[in-house]
Chains A and B, each alone.
Chain A
Amino acid sequence: MVIKTLAKSIRNYKRDSILTPVLVAIEVLLECLLPFAMAEMIDYINPPQTQVTRLFSFFPHLVQGSVNGEAMTIEGVLCYAAVLVAMAIASLLCGMGSGWFCANAAEGFAKNLRSDLFGAVQRFSFANIDRFSTSSLVTRMTTDVTNIEMAYMMIIRMAIRCPLMLVISMTMAFITSARVAWVFAVVVPILAVGAYFLLTRVHRLFQRVFKKYDRLNRTVQENVHGARVVKAYVREDFETQKFTEASDDICRDFTKAERIIALNGPVMMAAIYVCMLLIALVGATVVVKTNAGVITSGTLTTGGLMSMINYVMQILMSFIMIGMCVMIIAMSTASADRVVEVLNEEPTIHSPEDAKTEVADGSIDFENVSFRYSQEAAKNALSDVNLHIPSGAVVGVLGSTGSAKSTLVQLIPRLYDVSEGAVKVGGVDVRRYDLATLRNKVAMVLQKNVLFSGTIADNLRWGNPDADDRQLKEACRLAQADGFVESFPEGYATRISQGGTNVSGGQRQRLCIARALLKDPKILILDDSTSAVDTKTDSLIRQGFRDYIPDVTKIIIAQRVASVQDADMIVVMDNGRVDAVGTHDELLAGNAIYREVYYSQNGGESASKEDVTGGDDNA
């Protein structure tokens, strides 16, 4: 249930969420009483010619006195003034209080909801993350939460105020004169049906228009981003033409929708006026009959008639407001559905019960592994993989884009679960480990490596929050990053900007490697992590691995043959299958794919010449 799921996020703002409507209710009551006190005061200052029937009286003796011809006194006026001031202050306090608590409740709810969403995403597995795109998650946490917040504010303030106003006014109207108030009983239902049709029609229309409008804005965005392409191809007029057509189209639809919604005002006005006229006509007859003494029950005076006219306004106004509330709430339902979808998403990977919290060594076994990204996927991303990697080995993985190299290694730290077969680390199925233990022992440098805003040291400590400066330096030395970090004026305290754009690609990659090393892993996986690093540094990094962390199993995915050719074993991937496993010499002699890649990078004849600065394969 959508509402139930959302309501869980109210938590510590329950008090505010309840106080708001309570205070609103008191405020509405005061608001309805105030006119009575005011009318009585006017009657006291300027007594009417005829007898006024009242529902109740604040100062019966004063009213009685004025009717009997006693002149008003300043004390009398002050009595009324005191009541009015007291009511106004009470109403002010309730109004301010409800506004205050409403701000707490609505913003607090939004805060909690957003943090629940964020928490939910933190529990996601890679498969869960793939289901939602990054931008859609961001939208859900920002725009959608804001929409829900607005609706919530509406609910706790208006959803009480308007119906209460409606009920009180109706009750008052019926008490004043049931003989006249039946007019409402006729007009209001007709209006309700009419409003319902109008609103649903407009709602649909607007949803359509808003979609078009979004598309138009996306066009603008593309254009802003692609300004260089537009100019390079001299497509300014073409783009303007395209935009003009789309904008005109939206203008037509929008105008149509707005014109329908614009009927709302005049129709409501007509309803109010019709009610007034009917009440004046019906009321006039009742008043005359009362004056003539024809009827003795259900009498009505001219004063009463006047208040009936006032109720017309109040009743229909509340009615309009209720319509608006319904509309805003309806508009937020789409947002609510999207948010709940994230909240209810079940993480596909959990730590098992009685999980193993110890990883014996860095050996890896793939046993008949097949893998599909989703159950609906037409074909396997990986099929029939059998690999046995001893602890401490250096393994190179090579293959063209889309050959499933990354998919293969992502199964090791259990970022995805196999569809068939098993992946074992240290001789134990990865599904039997505690997730945190496994992932801390299997360090992985992702292909899409990301640094976060903060200092270099902050970023490195993602690997080990307790690492001291010496350990940071050591890891960086091994990743060949210490040199350039020290060359920065602020060294390890240098700030990294969002996305790590203020360090070069090669530097970013080396920092990411250092970050992974700090985990002190048993298995280290580099997914195309040195593509922007020059060959010399690249080989120094690999040499360092051999010398300083010989026991760690190292898996290196690379585009460059040079990065893998000295590995203990090289796995050649092709189209989701292992094409061949062997050493450089074996593969060069016996594997067509390996040979082709090798010669495309080495010009065919000379083995010493190679592509030095490397590829930048982000695909």
Chain B
Amino acid sequence: MRKAKQGVFHKGALKRLLSFMFARYKGKLILAFVCILVQAVIAAGAIGIMMQRVIYAIEGLTDVSQLGSVYTLCGVMAAIFVVGILAAFGREQLMAIITQGLLNDLRKSLFAKMQHLPIRYFDQHQSGDIMSMYTNDIDAIRQMISQSLPMTINAMVTLVTVVVVMAMYSVYMLLIVLGVAVVMFLVASKLGMGAAKYFREQQIAMGRLDGYIEEIMNGQKVVQVFTHEEEAKADFATVNDNWFHNARAAHRYANTLMPIMGNMGNLLYVILAISGAAFVLAGDKFHNVSLAGYALDVSVIAVFLQQCRSFSQTIGNVSQQLNSIAMGMAGAGRVFALMDEKDEEDEGYVTLVNARYDDEGNLVPAEERTGIWAWRHPHKAEGTVTYQLLKGDIEMHDVDFGYVPEKIVLQDVSLHAHPGEKYAFVGATGAGKTTITNLINRFYDIADGKIRYDGININKIKKGDLRRSLGIVLQDTNLFTGTVMDNIRYGRLDATDEEVYAAAKLANAHDFITRLPQGYDTMLEADGANLSQGQRQLLSIARAAVADAPVMIMDEATSSIDTRTELLVQRGTDQLMQGRTVFIIAHRLSTVQNADTIMVLDHGRVIERGSHAELLAQKGTYYQLYTGAFELE
């Protein structure tokens, strides 16, 4: 059905999926398998045989009182039916439980795995691709497990039964059947491949169509302002037509598969009749070979013709499942590929603890928040633990970094942010401002050089604790579905309502929040779509404020806030961060003016450094920026 390489890959995925399933639902699976078997045997053989015997028993009877044997047979048949129904019931119920349970397990493993992937993974994969694992791929797996697999097992049992019955009567006739079956499979896989090819094409065309629709819907107001409606319609028609041609071809293949298979079955029937008749008429010149040692007579042909129908029907059913099995395996392949990704590495051992000074003035760990933090160093060799006060002193020495090894983004960057200092980065888009902060919190690891936090190499600090010590307001504000309160509290889960209000006031968000329909209990959906960009930034500052971390990084945190409000926000954060280290990245120079040190970056290098006054005095790039002779970006 597919190229050899892919075939191997997917077979591996199927095997793994089955063992994943087996490990969790061993008992239920075996039971379900037995049910499928019982049901298949009853459907394929038992019913036909019993009916035949009932008919046989009736044959020639002329008195209703003689029907006793028929009633007995019907009783037996009823018993078989009950078993069949119970088996079907068991199978359906078990499969429902197994399928849903398995999907739940897969979903959860996938999500838990995703949480531990490095940021790099999210850079390299589009969110749409990751999402489609949770939707399309899981759905394909569901289809395969709940429908195609039982159906295939069922079909195999039926086929084996039919083949055995046929072999009992005539091996030659069976060979004819098998020969046609091979042709049927070839046709099915050929058509299936055509369908698969066009379904893929259709998927791509659909993606393009979605993209176009999204682009125009997003720019619909521009379309109207430029009275560009007719042109948009014409362009849309082209993309839409392209999709149509592929979709139509895909469905033509898929729709014609069943009639072709069904009628090939009918042809097989005819071929069997003719050849059977020919064998019989050939009489003694022809010697039948059969397991049961029957001679080939007319009654044998009748049996064959009857079996032939259920044979071709079964093949038709299986051929319909091929597509969904292939899709399920491809889906499983993608899901397992994500599960095999390497986790974010963390070899750190220094942890962050709340601390206080005891009566002798020694730093000791504390249970509760004290506003003082300490680094906890375990010393393996001596088996001792020492505590060191967290100050917020951050140093970078000759740091080099590139997101890909070939392209260096930062080169020889050194800096020393002293505790309590406000340190700003200025530079064009792509100059490496955000990258520096990404290295401090170890979203990425440096290629060369050293970064020290209070004199400790940050590689030695446990990532979670390192990040807990840094309050970050990111460039892209991401809010989560939930209330405004939940979103702010995301910064510190055990914050009280009062602490949340205080943080919101500090970020100057309290006013607009109280004006929302349900105030702090207003539900935010779709990344806070009902808020303006500026309001979302205020919320994300409040979120960082409630975290109350010893070091703060603000990456374009106020870019969408008007200058009047920005001043108020700054006053708030300055008050919060008194005596703590703050990193600021901003495009607007008014945002960084009051920083202690401003660092101007250009193409990954530091070109100027100093306070606002010093830099103006230097009359360099910063001066040019400030006087408007130069455009950032």
Is A474 part of the binding interface, using a Cβ–Cβ cutoff of 8 Å?
Answer: no
Number of interface residues of B (CB under 8 A): 158
* A401 in contact with B63 (CB, 8 Å): no
Which residues of B are found within 8 Å of A325, using beta-carbon distances?
none
At the interface with chain A, which of B1-9, B297-305, B355-363? B297-305
Q: Within 8 Å CB of A453, what residues of B?
A: 215
Say yes or no: A114-B240 contact (C-beta < 8 A), given A224-B127, A233-B491, A401-B532: yes
Q: Does A135 contact B (CB under 8 A)?
A: yes
The verdict on A77 contacting B100 (CB below 8 Å), with A243-B111, A400-B562, A615-B563 known, is: no
Could you tell me the distance in whole angstroms from the C-beta of A110 to the nearest C-beta in chain B?
7
Determine the distance from Cα of A415 to Cα of B255 in the docked complex, in whole angstroms. Answer: 48
* B491 A108 Cβ-Cβ under 8 A: no
Asked whether A129 is an interface residue with its Cβ less than 8 Å from the other chain, the reply is yes
Q: Which residues of B contact A218 (CB under 8 A)?
A: 481, 526
A219 & B116 in contact (Cβ 8 Å cutoff): no
Chain B residue contacts of A38, Cβ below 8 A: 269, 305, 309
Q: How many of A's residues come within 8 Å of B, CB to CB?
A: 165
B493 within 8 A of A: yes
A613-B588 in contact (CB<8A): yes
Enumerate 7 A-B pairs (CB-CB under 8 Å) in ascending A order: A229-B474, A236-B116, A247-B104, A400-B562, A536-B630, A600-B563, A619-B562
**Interchain CB contact under 8 A, B277 and A77:** yes
A262 at interface (Cβ–Cβ under 8 A)? Answer: yes
A contact residues around B255 at 8 Å (CB): 98-100, 102-103, 157
Closest approach, in angstroms, between the C-beta of B409 and any C-beta of chain A? 17
Question: Does B441 reach chain A (CB closer than 8 Å)?
Answer: yes
Give CA–CA (A288, B70) in the complex, Å: 11
A307 to chain B, nearest CB (A): 11
CB distance from B595 to the nearest CB of A (A): 15
The A213-263 residues at the B interface (CB cut-off 8 A) are 215, 217-240, 243-244, 247-248, 250-251, 254-255, 258-259, 261-263
* Among listed B164-172, B222-230, B380-388, B391-399, interface-contacting one: B222-230
- Please judge, given known A-B contacts A111-B243, A240-B112, A270-B85, whether A534 and B628 are in contact too, CB under 8 Å: yes
Name the residue of chain B whose CB is nearest to the CB of A108: B244
Of the candidates B55, B214, B267, B625, which one forms a contact with A306 in the assembled complex, judged by CB atoms under 8 Å apart? Answer: B55
B100 contacts A96, CB within 8 Å?
A: no
Whole-angstrom CA separation of A290 from B455 in the bound complex: 105
Check: A269 CB closer than 8 A to any chain B CB: yes
A498-B262 contact, Cβ under 8 Å, with A228-B478, A262-B92, A266-B88: no
Decide if B476 is an interface residue (CB 8 Å cutoff).
Answer: yes
Main secondary structure of the interface of B (DSSP, over half): helix
A615 to B74, CA, bound (A): 87
For A261, what are the chain B residues with a Cβ–Cβ distance below 8 Å?
A: 96
Which one of B17-25, B130-138, B286-294, B366-374 is at the interface?
B130-138
| CB of B284 within 8 Å of the partner chain | no
The answer on a CB contact under 8 Å between B88 and A265 is: yes
Least CB distance, B554 to chain A, in whole angstroms: 12
Pair B85/A84 contact, Cβ less than 8 Å: no
Residues of B within 8 A of A233 (CB): 467-468, 490-491, 547
CA distance A449 to B226 in the complex (A): 12
| Pairwise interchain contact A262-B74, C-beta atoms closer than 8 A | no
A95 CB-CB contact with B under 8 Å: yes
A613 and B631 within 8 A (CB): yes
Encode contact with A along B204-226: 1 for CB under 8 Å, 0 otherwise. 00100111011111111111111
What 0/1 pattern do residues 482 to 508 of B give for CB contact below 8 A with A?
000000001101000000000000000
Interface membership of A591, Cβ < 8 A: no
Residues of A within 8 A of B526 (CB): 135, 218
CB distance from B103 to the nearest CB of A (A): 7
B447 in the interface (beta carbon within 8 A): no
- Contacts of B260-277 to chain A: CB distance below 8 A: 260, 262-263, 266-267, 269-270, 273-274, 276-277
Chain A nearest CB from B190 CB (Å) reads: 15
B222 (CB) vs chain A CBs: closest residue: A450
The answer to whether B588 and A96 have CB atoms under 8 Å apart is: no
Is there contact, CB below 8 Å, between B273 and A122?
A: no
| In contact, A247 and B589 (Cβ under 8 angstroms) | no
Residues of chain B with a CB closer than 8 A to A536's CB: 628-631
CB distance from B403 to the nearest CB of A (A): 14
Q: A301: shortest Cβ distance to chain B, in Å?
A: 10
Which residues, 153 to 184 on A, are CB-close (under 8 Å) to B?
153, 157
